[in-house]
Chain A
């Protein structure tokens, strides 16, 4: 019966308030996310234009390339920009994203140190347009955005990639948050199933609750060795307000918002997800059920600030990292 130890009972998951895939699909996505709103979040260009309308900060758009003809003019578009990101509008799972850290002597330098020529960049854009990275291979549009200079305080917690913060927003209330730290194992990508570290965040303060890699608890970043307990996301209230206001922006009731922290511009919206995954429950060590039930009982039409305050008051938790023998107490 040794294989049995890898399994648990439904009752115990129920006690923890864990939400399964079926419940997420029927009770939350099916009920609160209208199908006609999906294109707003599945196309990053649409999301970006909408965000500008609603005054939500996003990385500055340098330009878009929509035709193969336009690929030739990309060199002109990029002059004067030192670091930038090229991404497909309809890409998923971080595919097709090219990050250029700086430009040295007309050579484009990636974070890994690899050098690309202008032709390489043009070919990448051309591939994006022909649909190499989009769902179902449909023709796509390439977005060129300024590079995010992520906050120094988070530098020590990541390996190569940009750490992003996922906040689940339910009916406009931020219900749960986590930070995804890329590792060598995840190849600089912030995908949890590829080996990135997920850190559950306290909704009240933005402090780390617990860290998880490959579904197992971890207390420090596997590559930089930095202690996770001391991780605090700066400008947490602004970030939550930004995430919560995405509800008004899209109308989607069950929403995953991906945010980043820029050195100058503060929290920024990176992308939205109408079918956010359930791994956030693992990183928080807690199920979503109780929080979602509480929010469902709240009336509609509450202002963004009140919703954030409500969430911060009700979903506050103590860190599990603090108090473990090999870590120091997290500072607020």
Chain B
């Protein structure tokens, strides 16, 4: 019954964990704290298409230095393709070519963009006014009517653009705008009208940067040139708002197509992105190129998988919180690791929305489950019925929230539905067997655990450490093993057994 092997294993895990973390810290200058650093976005574009046994040429627009962002490094992965970077006054492009390709093809392009508020685009050249194709009747009169109305209500190019966007997309959308929209997409229509009115404008494509997002598409924006300050102004083609959001990266600004594929069909490009922090010195140098065994890091994975791992690596933190609360504090939860999964959902929904959504779903679920218990069903059938009920509740809440204009309500779909169904089932049985008080104790315990796990997992420092230092996982493992060996009292037992220690006093 010697515990020696146990302590040896725990010791080894601790030493290995600390050693690899320190190694990463020293070798790659990854700081322990996420502060005083430069934010770097890693963006990966995946091009998918079907080749048709013919020469293939793929042109992809590439982002350049621009307001707020600087291009650090870029990489491509495309076996069997020739690659050339091209740059002209309209922007940069990557061109892949191959003589013969068949079947489904995947090309990768990844770029590291450094967030730097003082970055500026190279030179602002006013482009020549694009030649406008004249409208056919009856569209010509509708177009000139729109232009005249907006022109009358505006003072300069910027306000003219805003008025025009509101006329086309906003609440003021009139009959002529609707007529023209049958011919063009909103952004293209606005640009065409602007050009027709003699304003230099173009449609550009941008990427909204959000950490850990996968399979994103570009969104379309409108740029208008202001000769008085020799600068391009950016407009949101939906709201007419002027100015560039901080997290908008302009991917293509030349007014050209983002992706052009010759010799292939069904082509599309999708984007994954991830942010991480680097010390200012390291941010400049690309240090992921040398992939040795010691540089064992998830940063060598494709971005899409990295984004996935960022979440996966947080789960041990949640597990540690659960072990801590159950073994050292003695909190009762319904379902051992259910709180971790709820906490993961909270990360997506944000805490207040998540709490309200969780309580609503469980409360309504309990009422319906209460009726199901009268039907006297077998367990598996009953839980399945509860799962369908949960899906129905989530759908109804989502639609209701959307109707009421609460976009936050849409995130309730992130809740793990099967787990919720089991939670409802357990709570309901508990209610029947032990009464509502136990339901409150265990439900409250679960929720408290979930909130604490969420706070731990959503902490920027914890995210930084778990993502950048894989060795921390070994340390977590060692801690959990140690906690699993703890034979002392739980915090709540100090209260439970209090009466025993009392009666010594009177004697």
Seen from chain A, the residues whose Cβ lies within 8 Å of a Cβ on chain B are 6-10, 12-13, 16, 18, 20-23, 26-27, 31, 93, 95, 127, 130-132, 136-138, 212, 215-217, 281-282, 285-287, 320
Contacts and interface: CB of A to CB of B under 8 A. Distances in A.
B498 interface: yes
A100 B433 CA distance: 22
Contact of A137 (B379, B487, B496): B379
A23 B487 contact: yes
B494 A7 contact: yes
Nearest to B486: A22
5 residue pairs, one from A and one from B, having the closest CB atoms:
A137-B379, A23-B487, A20-B489, A8-B498, A12-B501
Given A281-B497, A282-B500, 12 more contacts: A6-B495, A8-B498, A13-B489, A13-B497, A18-B493, A18-B497, A22-B486, A23-B488, A130-B378, A136-B379, A137-B379, A285-B503
A210 to B, nearest CB: 8
Contacts of B497: 8, 13, 16, 18, 281-282
A10 B327 CA distance: 15
22 contacts: A6-B495, A8-B494, A8-B495, A9-B494, A10-B489, A16-B497, A16-B500, A16-B501, A18-B500, A20-B489, A20-B493, A22-B487, A26-B487, A93-B433, A130-B376, A131-B379, A212-B499, A217-B503, A281-B500, A285-B503, A286-B500, A320-B503
B494 A13 contact: yes
B73 interface: no
A22 B499 contact: no
Nearest to A18: B497
Contact of B495 (A7, A285, A286): A7
A126 to B, nearest CB: 10
Contacts of B503: 217, 285, 320
Contacts of B495: 6-8
A15 B315 CA distance: 39
Interface string B471-507: 0000000000000011111100111111111010000
A26 B484 CA distance: 9
A10 B379 contact: no
Contacts of A26: 485-487
Contact of A22 (B488, B498, B501): B488
A102 B472 CA distance: 67
Given A130-B378, A137-B378, A137-B379, A21 B490 contact: yes
B330 interface: yes
A8 B503 CA distance: 13
A13 B493 contact: yes
B2 to A, nearest CB: 13
Given A7-B494, A93-B433, A22 B327 contact: yes
B451 to A, nearest CB: 21
Given A7-B494, A8-B494, A285 B500 contact: yes
A120 to B, nearest CB: 15
Taking each of B1, B330, B486, B500, which has the highest tally of chain A beta carbons within 10 Å of its own beta carbon? Answer: B500
Nearest to A3: B495
B435 to A, nearest CB: 9
Nearest to A138: B379
Contacts of A130: 376, 378
Interface of B: 1, 327, 330, 376, 378-379, 433, 485-490, 493-501, 503
Contact of B488 (A8, A9, A10): A10
Contact of A20 (B1, B378, B433, B488): B488
Nearest to B429: A137
A217 to B, nearest CB: 7
Contacts of B327: 22
Contacts of A95: 433
A170 B157 CA distance: 90
A22 B433 CA distance: 25
A17 B457 CA distance: 38
Contacts of B493: 13, 18, 20-21
Contacts of B496: 215
A275 B493 CA distance: 17
B379 to A, nearest CB: 4
B498 A6 contact: yes
Contacts of A22: 327, 486-490
A21 B496 CA distance: 11
A27 B487 contact: yes
Nearest to A216: B499
A127 B373 CA distance: 12
A21 to B, nearest CB: 6
Taking each of B433, B493, B495, which has the highest tally of chain A beta carbons within 10 Å of its own beta carbon? Answer: B493
A20 B503 CA distance: 19
A281 B503 CA distance: 14
Taking each of A12, A95, A130, A286, which has the highest tally of chain B beta carbons within 10 Å of its own beta carbon? Answer: A12
Contacts of A9: 494
Nearest to B484: A26
A8 B501 contact: yes
A212 B488 CA distance: 25
Contacts of B488: 10, 20, 22-23
A215 B499 contact: yes
A16 B502 CA distance: 11
B201 to A, nearest CB: 67
A284 to B, nearest CB: 9
Contact of B498 (A7, A20, A138, A320): A7
A299 B164 CA distance: 95
A31 B485 CA distance: 13
A18 to B, nearest CB: 5
Nearest to A20: B489
Contacts of B499: 212, 215-217, 282
A260 B44 CA distance: 72
Nearest to B425: A137
Nearest to A127: B376
A13 B501 contact: yes
Contacts of A132: 376
Nearest to B499: A215
Nearest to A26: B487
A263 to B, nearest CB: 32
Taking each of A9, A18, A31, A320, which has the highest tally of chain B beta carbons within 10 Å of its own beta carbon? Answer: A18
